[in-house]
Every structure is written in C-alpha cells, then in structure tokens.
Amino acid sequence: MLSQVYRCGFQPFNQHLLPWVKCTTVFRSHCIQPSVIRHVRSWSNIPFITVPLSRTHGKSFAHRSELKHAKRIVVKLGSAVVTRGDECGLALGRLASIVEQVSVLQNQGREMMLVTSGAVAFGKQRLRHEILLSQSVRQALHSGQNQLKEMAIPVLEARACAAAGQSGLMALYEAMFTQYSICAAQKRRNLNGTLHELLRMNIVPIVNTNDAVVPPAEPNSDLQGVNVISVKDNDSLAARLAVEMKTDLLIVLSDVEGLFDSPPGSDDAKLIDIFYPGDQQSVTFGTKSRVGMGGMEAKVKAALWALQGGTSVVIANGTHPKVSGHVITDIVEGKKVGTFFSEVKPAGPTVEQQGEMARSGGRMLATLEPEQRAEIIHHLADLLTDQRDEILLANKKDLEEAEGRLAAPLLKRLSLSTSKLNSLAIGLRQIAASSQDSVGRVLRRTRIAKNLELEQVTVPIGVLLVIFESRPDCLPQVAALAIASGNGLLLKGGKEAAHSNRILHLLTQEALSIHGVKEAVQLVNTREEVEDLCRLDKMIDLIIPRGSSQLVRDIQKAAKGIPVMGHSEGICHMYVDSEASVDKVTRLVRDSKCEYPAACNALETLLIHRDLLRTPLFDQIIDMLRVEQVKIHAGPKFASYLTFSPSEVKSLRTEYGDLELCIEVVDNVQDAIDHIHKYGSSHTDVIVTEDENTAEFFLQHVDSACVFWNASTRFSDGYRFGLGAEVGISTSRIHARGPVGLEGLLTTKWLLRGKDHVVSDFSEHGSLKYLHENLPIPQRNTN
C-alpha cells in the first residue's frame, strides 16, 4: 500500500474550533465537501477541548536514548524553518530535506504527522507576483524599468496571504511526497478518527491551523490547572494534536538550536540540554521569531503541556545548513540535538555540569604546589593497595556479568589482579616523582628590552575527555597523569567495567579531597553517547580514546572542533635483515606477537629479507609461530616463492589484534622502509640486524612514532619508557607523539613583565630598541 499525505485544517463555529477537511488526490478522485459538526465538545464522543492528562499509552520517555523506540511522531515546522530569509516564499531545499527525513522514518514503520507553517509566506509570494502582473502596460512604460523595480507593494494582510497560499502549500507537499510514493488521501468527517485511520493505513497527515480562518484565541486558560491548551498558533496546535493522538514524540523545529537560559546571542546564553517542568524561572525569554505567531515562550508552554500529557518533546534547529539535512533522524536516533523535555531529573549532575566542575576543579588543581599534587597521587597509590579486596570484588562482578558476552582478549583487559594493582601503584609513584617539575616550568626567558622580560612556561591543557573500553586499570593511570599535569578530567568508561570504574573513581576523589579538589576528576555515568560527548567543544579541550581501532576512528570522525590524541590503528612491523642474529630473532618475534596479541603495540607484519628464505633462521621463525598457534597470512611476494602457501593476505594494512601475522618478503632495508611507509600506521616499527650502519639508516628514515633496533615492539609503552603511565600512544605529528605521559598533557603560555612599555617606543623614532637577549632559566628545587 502506498503511503499517502492527508491535509487537515480547522474552521471556526460559534468561536470554537471544529474540524473540516479538504482533500485532493493525484488520481483526481472526486471530493465530498466537508460538513460542519454541530457538537462543540467532542468528535464522535471523543473529547478534544478538554483533554485528560492521564494517558493510556504510558509516560513520556525519561532519556534521549529511548527516543529510538518512538512509534508515533509529530513534527512541527515553524515559519522560520519553511520560509525564506526574505519572508516571501518557501525554503524549498530545506523543505525537501525535511520531507525526505519524514519519508525515511515512515518507511521504517513509524507513524509520522506534520504540523506545518508556511501558508502566509507562500501566499505573500503569490500575491506579490499577482500585484506586479496586474500593473497596466501604460503605467509600466511611463514609470520606466528602474521605477518599476522600486514600485511600492502594498502591505499584505496575513490572513489574505494565508488564504492565497494554503492550497499551494499543500500542493507543494503533495508533489514532494510523491517522489517517495506518498500521495494525497480522500477526506473523512471525523478528524480524530480520520487521523487514526490514516496512520493505520501508513499515511502521513499534514495539519495546519490555516491562518485564513483561525478564530480569535481562546482565553488563556491553559496551564492554569485546566486540562486545555488554546490553539493560538502551530505550537499549541502541535501540542494539542500530539496529546490527542497519543503520540510518543513531538519534534518542534525552529530557527534556534533549542532553548537557551537567556536570549540566544547574548553573551552568557547557554543551550539547555534537558529541560524539566518547574525550570521556567531559570529562563529569560527573548522576543518572538521574525516570522510566525509564536516565540520560544509559546513553544515551551506548548512543550510542557504535551509533556504533561505523556508526549516527549524536543525543540531543535531546523534551519542550520549543516544539521537540517538530518536533524529529525538524529533526534529519533537519540542523539544530543536541541533541548529535550523530560519529567525525570537525573540523580547526579548532567555531563555539562560535570564539565564545568572539571574545569573549575582543574584550575584549582593547577594552583596547588607540586608537592601537594604529588601527595594526592601518593595517597591514591596507597589506596589501590589498601582497598585491594574491595576493588577486586567489584571487578569480579564485572567479569561475571561479561562472561559469555566478551571475547577472551577483552576479558583479559577487563580483569584486575593483585599484581596489576601493585604495578599500578608503582607507576603512580613514578608519576608523582616526575610531577615535581611539570606545571609552571620555565622553558625560555628573553629580555625584550630594558625592564621588559618574557617567559614561556608550561601550563595544563584544560579539560581532558578520556574514553576507554574494558580497561579499568586505565582510570587511576589517567587520573594520576591529569592530577600531575593540573588538568581537569572527564572519564567515560565502558559499561562492561561499571563496578570497577565506580570504586576506582571513588578512591580517586578520596585522594583529591585531601587538598579540596575532589571535583577535578569526573566519571560520566549518564546515558550520554560517545558521539554526543565529542560535540562538547566549549567544555572539552582534548579527547583521548583508549580502546579498539574502531573506537578511535569513530571518535575522530565524531569530534567537532576538539583535537583527538591517539592512533586509529597499530600496524606494527618488524624487519628481519640479512645480518640478523639467529638467537635474537625468534625471541623478538615471539615477544612482539605472542606476549599480548590484543595490544596496539603487538607485531602485525613480519618483513623478511629475501636472502633468508629457505634458511635455518627462517625455518626457526616458522616453527616457533606454529608452536604458538599463530595463523600466518602470506603477502603477495612471499606467496610467489611458495608452492603451497598459507592463506594469502586480504590486505597488507591489517591490524589483527589476535594470534595472526602477515609475512612478506622485501629485497633490502630501503624496500622494507618503503613497505612500512605505504602500509604502516606510524605506530611502532623494528629492525633486527647486527649491522650498525643498516640499523641507523632504518632508525633515521622510518617515519613512525617509535622506531627500535633489536627490541620488541611491546616496549612502546609509557610505563616501560619510564613515564610512569600513559594516556595513550599518539601517531599524530602535532603536539605529542608516541607514548603520551605527563609532558604530553601540558601546553605553554607566555608571561610578559614590563614597566609602562608601549610599542610606539620601539618605532623608528622611538626611544627604545629591542634587545632580544636570551636569559638563563632558573633551576627549580625538586627535592
């Protein structure tokens, strides 16, 4: 059955609203003229003017993530959404995008309804055109072309414009929906019953107050203890329709991002992510939209009324060119778009509030003495061993819940042990020792002129967002690095480690409390999606993902205006040179590949010098890999040397993360370097050789974050580098590269100390000259 569009309106009778219906079909079916229902209080005994607030379909959704379950949806299009900037005509591209989104959702099995503005703008365009055409030829000739362009157009009354534009607007919708096999439908008398029947038949109704015939507004009795909302505009109509039709979701599209706590554009205006009933006092409303009858205050009143009736509401921007093409589908998918109205207040702070707390707490942390920050980290290290039993008990719960749901490598990452906790404590104490000379360290001093001295000093980056999967041991490591560097920290862990993360965060805050900076480290426990967190560009200064390559790629794609530190893949290579030692090769290959194959610094591709093929050294490597049960994939060149080869590799750019390894043949060290640059990920690459000249050539020419000679790829780690711990390994070329420890979480600022210095004093005829003398850097006492 084809989906269809049904256009409904209202007609006044005795100063009340009663239904009337006009219909047109693309098949030119005959239309029955609408008849007026003489009963004011109901449609076929279904009350409309008085709507009970108790709903049989249940309460509104409590969280955005539940919106994906919405079945019946009303989309209200404000005048600013469908109208051009000159208010004369429709924004056709924007409207086409909305029609496409509605059609997509309808084809998913949802029941979509539209409440649309735009008749006035469409009619204004039509009437202006008619007025210009009606000018007599004589007047046009006498006036001249220039005067004709400046010919005054009389002010057009809105009701007249609506009357002229209503039919054209509906015809336009009909033409657009026809592209998706959606047509016009025939009329029925009872609007409520008609809508239910049309939805049952997979039809999209389009409803409008019809400014041409709308009656004077009812007394403003809504939201005053009476279960009624006056239909003054399309906002109130949409709310009334949503409640009457028992819809799950009402989407109100306007020309602003959502509800702000003060008029948008004012200096301190903040977008409200979630709005709760009773929060009206915290909002200052501005003037109404440039077009249309309502404003944001009217939208909020209508939204709250619908919310009380059991319908969830989102107010969002339908005009922004970067989001309008997917704003409706994003909302239904539960993404953080616009303002979500909810009756359920969360037990804890919102993620925005947590971001603000991390910002202020981080600034307080940065002002502490180095010894105080070190004391916090030492205390956290002690808590990890003192509270070992409680930590392991929480971790046991995570492991039991994850059993059968996570793969073995992920279960290994999730697991904590006494030895892991002891190693964590040792690493934290190393961080504490290195933090003595981190924040506020002078890097450069310059005498610009007499009594004008410049310093460059280290400072924290700001607020870090660290997202990690199945790695509860990551939490204290990252927290310690943030504390040492004076950064505020937001942590988002995987739900599979919820119990472990919770107790580790509590211990972290306990350690922070000894110097009154408990709020500097926040654990995000709300239902925020990672993609939504990546959009908080005004609260977060750096995102650090810790997890799978897919997680890193998703975050790099989702981050809007926030730098991401990390690597999307760990395709690590080991080149075995013709001068390699037989005793060293098998040890290095085994450790690099088999010690922890799921790690990002595990070996993925083994490059063999062609002279080593069919030698005892090569046979020893293959025998060892078979014993370790490593699956071998042959590169194209390697496969060409073999009569019966292992399975040929599908791609030379593969991170297996398991006991699988690609083997390829190269002609020489330069060939190996070229292969690494073409197929590697700039993570960690190794050469095994006894020839020092070849080794140095490899070390200098391979463009990767970590390049080793006769050492396992697994040494690419912050703890093994002596950094105490790492927040991750970066393969980017800006700021930090390789294992990122304390130094990678710092940036710099410039301090200039003068005495009434002005630039004009250094002009050609000025009294001062630039000196630009390098000054000695004072040594800080780190004992």
pLDDT, position 688 = 98
* C-alpha–C-alpha distance, residues 17 and 49, integer Å: 9
Integer CA distances (angstroms), 333 to 136, 494, 569, in order = 56, 20, 28
pLDDT, position 37 = 25
Contacts of 698 (CB under 8 A, 6+ apart): 575, 669, 672, 673, 687, 689, 707, 709
* C-alpha–C-alpha distance, residues 312 and 248, integer Å: 6
* C-alpha–C-alpha distance, residues 666 and 488, integer Å: 48
* C-alpha–C-alpha distance, residues 345 and 350, integer Å: 10
In the three-class reduction of DSSP (H, G, I as helix; E, B as strand; rest coil), residue 207 is classed as: strand
* C-alpha–C-alpha distance, residues 375 and 217, integer Å: 67
Contacts of 133 (CB under 8 A, 6+ apart): none
Strand order in the sheet with 631-634: 631-634, 660-666, 603-609, 572-576, 684-688, 706-709
* C-alpha–C-alpha distance, residues 691 and 694, integer Å: 5
- 474-485 vs 370-386: helix crossing angle, rounded to 10: 170
DSSP string covering 77-143: E-HHHHB-TTSSSB-HHHHHHHHHHHHHHHHTT-EEEEEE--HHHHHHHHHHHHHHHHS-HHHHHHH
DSSP string covering 561-608: S--B-S-S---EEEEE-TT--HHHHHHHHHHHHHS-TTSTTSEEEEEE
pLDDT, position 677 = 97
pLDDT, position 298 = 84
DSSP string covering 366-404: HHS-HHHHHHHHHHHHHHHHHTHHHHHHHHHHHHHHHTT
What are the tokens at 512? 């922070």
* C-alpha–C-alpha distance, residues 624 and 620, integer Å: 6
Fill in the amino acid letter for 701. Answer: H
* C-alpha–C-alpha distance, residues 420 and 418, integer Å: 5
What are the tokens at 782? 């780190």
Per run of 10 residues, the mean pLDDT along the chain (length 783 residues) is 40 34 31 28 30 51 90 90 76 88 91 84 72 58 53 65 74 81 52 78 75 47 50 81 91 90 78 84 64 70 91 92 85 91 83 91 95 96 96 96 86 91 93 88 94 95 92 94 96 93 97 96 82 85 85 84 83 97 94 91 96 94 95 93 80 92 96 97 96 97 96 92 83 84 92 93 90 88 55
